[in-house]
Structure 1
Amino acid sequence: MKQKPFIRRTLLAAALLITLGLPAGAQQTDYQNQVKNPRGSTTGPTDAPGYDHPNQYLHLQATEIADNMEPVIVHSSEVKNAQEKLAAMEKKTGKKPNILIFLTDDVGWLDYGFNGGGVAVGNPTPNIDKIANQGLILTSAYSTPSCSPTRVTIMTGQNPLHHGVLRPPMYGEPGGLDGKTTLANILKKLGYRTQGVGKWHMGENKGSLPQNVGFDDYYGFLGVSDMYTEWRDVYFNPEVALSPERFKMMEKLGFNHYNVHCTPEKGAENLYEIDLESIQNLDQDWAAYSENFLDEMKGSDQPFFLYHATRAAHFDNYPNHEFAGKSPARTVFSDGIVEIDDIFGRLVKKLEENGQLDNTLIIFGSDNGPEMEVPPHGRSPFRGGKGSSWEGGVRVPTFVYWKDVIEPRKSDGLFDYADIFNTCISVAGKPGAEVASFLPEDRYTDGVDQVPFIFADEGQSTRKSRIYTLNAHVSAVRVDEFKMHFVVELQDAIFSRGFTGGFSGSVVTETGGATATNLYTNPGEDISDGIRHLPITIPLGDEATRYNKVLAKYPPNIQVVMPGRIK
């Protein structure tokens, strides 16, 4: 005779009680008191202690320091340790530290040796690797999906939804910084000499030019490499280069065709036209200009801010003759990486020769992941590339260095390029919420002060979450090793061979609602863990809800739209 389910359960429970040495008639509460399995599995409890790791904050509530600023994770002892270090250095040197931001173009997470690339992928980077390994290598540092938005993020401490530049303005389109208070503005007010060199690409309209947003001097070009060359090259664009009338159209198009020199006194002066010959020498010219600036500042009581942005390795690459074929890979991209390494080494050597290295904070990075649609290009171990908010598009090679001040180490603590704004201002003497004193009350700051993370021995990130943006969307949120997706790019949704991703993919505005990935176990982002790990998914959704409330109170201010032209 078949037993009823409740009879079977009763008999099984009695058998279990007897096995455990308890009388079959013992009260249920006695059984619960003696047999506990708060964590483990159905096979029994575990006595494994488990571990809490640094930079994991899913269980923590971030602290709000100002209504118009991102909340932070406060590590009081690390704040104290970092501030003591900075105070000691200022007492020793008699001034605030110099700041060098060295920003490369379209370089992937795996292109430099300090992240496992370099010689392994045919472009050795010994100078960069040496300094990186003496500093703090940030394995989870994030740019935006493309170059202009990232550059404006660095200068404003805002993500693209707040600063409004969703894509690069091209061929003289308006839009950019457009009069915003920038990192250069604020450092200048704090006593710094502000020098910019190299690629600008933050707007060509008057309010966006370097001399009008805080730079004492700027030497470089206002756009991006391919804007000067692609229509000239009979191999890449014969339909323009070999059409006299179309070629004439490009010559007359309203963008600046020159390497320029910008000062508040004289404005933007055109120096020489950029063509297929002069572009080969731009990075060398810019490197020499930065070296001359460092010589000029030698022995000065005034601290300096040097923003050096390279042209290589953005397509189209025309290597300098000295570096053509110098990389073992012998591609124009890898040759550009080798040239970048040489230039970085030159600047570090100049700092050392001038006695400036001991008091200079160096921040090294890339404006986005590799351009995956125009080979040869960079490499990333992650999914996607430039133009997407998959990890490959926005997770970029980054380190910070200050000789004998920053403890050499690697950390996977979250770091957003918006944090460069807050951190540099903090180093210059205005930590935490004090940055708000330079900004309008209705301007939201997405960056956080990472001084405790960078300078404290074994410091941890002060950032709980990382908000991803894609075009006009909040596309994802990361907390700890988990990332929840709301808007994604489907790389092969439009073109059958568009699998590499980038600007030509399809943007899907809604995912399934519980689309989440574990970036430790699945860095390729091709498996969703959202349903299996709901205890993680729900807090991720809560963090997205928090930021949506921020956007409701401090709405997006879109200038350069995607797709199409400027609004």
Structure 2
Amino acid sequence: MLSKAVRTSETMEPALAFPDQDRTTAEKLAELQKRIGKRPNIVWFLIDDMGWGDPGLYGGGEAVGAATPNMDRLAREGLMLTSTYSQPTCTPTRSAILTGRLPVRTGLTRPILAGDKITKNPWAEEASLPKLLGEVGYATVLCGKWHVGDVEGMRPHDVGFDEFYGFYPASQELSKSLDKRRYPDLVLNPERMQMFHDTGASEALIHGFKGGETTVAQKIESLDDIAEADHTLKEFSVAKIKELAKGGKPFFLEHAFMKVHADNFASREFEGKSASKYPYKDAVVEVDAYIGEMVKALDDAGVLDDTFIFITSDNGPQMDSWPDSGTTPFRGAKGSAWEGGVRVPGIAYWRGMISPGRQSDELFDLMDLFNTSLDLGGALDRIPTDRYIDGIDQTSFLLADGGHSMREKVYIWNEQNFMAMRMYEYKIMTKVVETKSQWLDIDMSTITDVGLAPWVFNLYIDPKEQYPVGHRMNAWLASLAAEMKAHAATFKKYPPKDIGLAQ
């Protein structure tokens, strides 16, 4: 058997065991808690649609016309993960990191768009990370993009966050009704504009509080408003960090950028600041600068040493909007199960707790942030046991010098379709996304069964997934297939939810 993972509960994903690194990490965290008198802060920087190849240390940066000195520095001074996996699109990833569950289990299998009619509230039955952290004394804030439901009961401040300051939809959903050059058949047609407004799509910056008031902080009325949205969000998070640092509670802040999701409109301060001069590249430079400012705010507030930071993207680059799009060295893009769609940057930084200069290609799924954050917050015992949890606690992998990943496998779904599994360096695919025209990875693609046998790739010799090694060059086809069957079996006892996004 190829697998070494151990199942400790029928409701938890099997994990690899490294008792020594768990022990040393627990000692390190205990010493920290004794020193600061509370649990650590947790800060996520979630960038929208940034490619694996956009940050400098991942092969991008200056080499592709958009320097990223802040992300590069944090990667050099922390842990750079080269096999971090997201979901193929944004809503699935954003729900998965907050529930520790595959989107096919929660029903949040694709982005919720204007006009969608949700048949049930998936959050009513989910235990979100901010809710569980709040129960053990954390202050919880989401600043930025949500895109996981905007009706009452599905908003961030309804599902566990103490405070939300941001936008319900993606930036493109906001710009559609304003950009007459790109959407003339909408913007220049009053009847269609009225129909669009009648869908009830949010067109504003929202400020909401748990159990309290929800207000419109700013009505989005121009493309300039969209261009400056991330500046507005950054200013809020900088001020909020100062406030939270004085509050005495540990805090969880998820800062979710609107950029670099298309359509990108350059902020006044950053227009032409990238070597490329293209709006996407200017947006990368802007996001990188804001990460630097927010990390500095943590330092200025005296809490940087007490704060676990993770930087990532919600999926691969959206090639359909090229050249308003990112960079990946891998096959495929946003919307696909190819590496280009789901393999994203992952940077873990914690001054004094994560040794500088670490790099690892061992597996990390963004769902692991759920379990890991609960471990850091002292709330692992609050993980529900009446449903299947796909996340794995990776605390010791991230914090221990030379730490190993507890994750043996990553399962890749595209909406209701099980597409692939990565196990060590092997990728086995049962379905593939076929792009019918270049740059149209979403708008002109199909999902196809692979046929006679699964396609098996060795990502160490073929990272672009161009040539299956199959049974003729791989000894593990039967073992890989057995692991996929075990994964499928978890859905028999814990069936997936249908909330009306199946089509």
Q: TM-score, normalised by structure 1?
A: 0.85
Q: Is the 8 A contact 2:61 2:67 kept in 1?
A: yes
Superposition pairs of residues 145-164 of structure 1, within 5 angstroms:
145-164=88-107
Q: Using the TM superposition, give the Cα deviation of residue 295 of structure 1 relative to its aligned residue in structure 2, in angstroms.
A: 1.0
> Is 1:368 aligned with 2:315?
yes
Q: Does the Cα contact within 8 Å between 1:317 and 1:336 map onto a contact in 2?
A: yes
Aligned to 2:419: 475
1:134 counterpart letter in structure 2? E
Identity of aligned residues (%): 37
Match of 2:236 among 255, 264, 289: 289
Cα 1:80–1:328 change in 2 (3 A) is: same
**Is the CA contact (8 Å cut-off) linking 1:370 and 1:392 kept in structure 2?**
yes
Match of 1:247 in 2: 193
Q: 1:98 to 1:503 in 2, by over 3 A?
A: farther
Corresponding position: 1:450 with 2:389: no
- Code of the residue aligned with 1:184 in structure 2: it is P
Partners of 2:117 and 2:378 in 1: CA distance: 34
Structure 2 CA distance for partners of 1:519 and 1:503, relative to 1, 3 Å? farther
Contact 1:231 1:247 in 2 (8 A): yes
Task: Check if 1:217 corresponds to 2:163.
Answer: yes
Deviation sequence 1:368-411 (CA, Å, 0-9, x none):
00001112200100000000010000000111111011123110
Residue of structure 2 in register with 1:331 after alignment: 278
Which residue in 2 is equivalent to 1:263? 209
Does the aligned pair in 1 maintain the 2:320–2:439 contact within 8 Å?
no
Letter in 1 for 2:123: D
Instruction: Give how far 1:538 is off.
Output: 1.6
State yes or no: 1:400 paired with 2:343.
Answer: no
Shifted more, 399-408 versus 507-516: the winner is 507-516
**Helix, strand or coil: the match of 2:319?**
coil
* Alignment partner of 2:150 out of 182, 204, 229: 204
The offset of 1:502, in angstroms, is 2.9
**d(CA) in 1 for partners of 2:455 and 2:369?**
30
Q: Secondary structure at the match of 1:228?
A: helix
Task: Provide the rounded CA distance (Å) in 2 between the counterparts of 1:477 and 1:342.
Answer: 35
- Give the alignment partner of residue 488 of structure 1, picking from 417, 428, 432: 432
Alignment-derived partner of residue 178 in structure 1 = 123
**In the alignment, which residue of structure 2 is the partner of 1:550?**
490
The answer to which of 525-534 and 167-176 deviates more is: 167-176
**Secondary structure at the residue paired with 1:178?**
helix
Distance in 2 separating the partners of 1:117 and 1:462: 29
Tell me the residue number matched to 1:140: 83
Shift of 1:536: 1.8
Matched AA of 2:79: L
Equivalent in 448, 458, 463 of residue 518 of structure 1? 458
1:172 deviation in Å? Answer: 5.3
User: CA offsets per residue over residues 502-550 of structure 1, 9 Å max, x none?
Assistant: 3531001343323100111111111011122341212111110110111
219-228 or 527-536, which deviates more = 527-536
AA paired with 1:410? Q
Distance in 1 (alpha carbons) for counterparts of 2:489 and 2:376? 30
1:321 corresponds in structure 2 to 268
Amino acid of the structure 2 residue aligned with 1:70: E
Does the CA-based 8 Å contact 1:366-1:397 persist in structure 2?
A: yes
1:466 paired with 2:397, answer no
Instruction: Please give the alpha-carbon distance, in whole angstroms, between the structure 2 residues aligned to 1:278 and 1:514.
Output: 48
The change in CA–CA distance for 1:174 and 1:450 in structure 2 (over 3 A counts) is: farther
**Cross-structure match for 1:6:** none
Contact 1:407 1:458 in 2 (8 A): no
Could you say if the C-alpha distance between residues 507 and 209 of structure 1 is closer, same or farther in structure 2, counting changes exceeding 3 Å?
Answer: same
1:124 to 1:460, Cα distance in 2 relative to 1, 3 A: same
User: Would the aligned equivalents of 1:240 and 1:247 in 2 still touch at CA under 8 Å?
Assistant: yes
Secondary structure, aligned partner of 1:488: strand
**Counterpart for residue 220 of structure 2:** 274
Aligned with 1:77 (options 20, 39, 54) = 20
Distance in 2 between residues matched to 1:265 and 1:488, nearest whole Å: 44
Say which SS state the counterpart of residue 139 (structure 1) adopts.
strand
DSSP 3-state at the match of 1:358? helix
Provide the secondary structure at the position in 1 that maps to 2:348. strand
- Does the 8 Å contact 1:110/1:379 carry over to 2? yes
Deviation at 1:487, TM superposition (A): 1.1
Q: Which amino acid aligns with 1:473?
A: N
The alpha carbon displacement at 1:430 in A equals: 3.4
Amino acid paired to 1:245? E
Contact conserved, 1:481 with 1:519, CA < 8 A, in 2?
Answer: yes
Instruction: Give the whole-Å Cα distance in 1 for the aligned partners of 2:450 and 2:492.
Output: 19
1:523 match: secondary structure: coil
| Pairwise CA RMSD | 1.5
Paired residues of 1:162 and 1:556 also in contact (CA < 8 A): yes
Contact 2:330 2:339 in 1 (8 A): yes
Distance 1:154 1:182 in 2: 9
Extract unaligned runs of 5+ from structure 1: 1-57
Distance 2:488 2:271 in 1: 49
* AA aligned opposite 2:54: D
Distance 1:559 1:545, change over 3 A: same
Deviations 1:30-52 (A, max 9, x none): xxxxxxxxxxxxxxxxxxxxxxx
**Matched residue, 1:419:** 368
Aligned to 2:447, which of 507, 526, 531?
Answer: 507
Asked if 1 retains the 8 angstrom alpha-carbon contact of 2:142 and 2:253, the reply is: yes
Q: Does 1:352 align with 2:299?
A: yes
Counterpart-to-counterpart distance in 2, 1:525 and 1:435 = 40
Asked whether the 8 Å contact 1:113–1:120 carries over to 2, the reply is yes
Q: What is the distance in 2 between the residues matched to 1:187 and 1:412?
A: 29
The count of residues paired between Structure 1 and Structure 2 equals 497
Q: Does 1:190 align with 2:139?
A: no
Greater RCO (Cα-Cα under 8 Å, separation 6 or more): 2
What secondary structure is seen at the aligned counterpart in 2 of 1:413? coil
| DSSP 3-state at the match of 2:43 | strand
Q: Is the Cα contact below 8 Å between 2:44 and 2:310 reproduced in 1?
A: yes
Bigger Cα displacement from structure 2, 346-355 vs 243-252:
243-252
Query: Aligned partners of 1:104, 1:379: CA distance in 2, in Å?
Result: 14
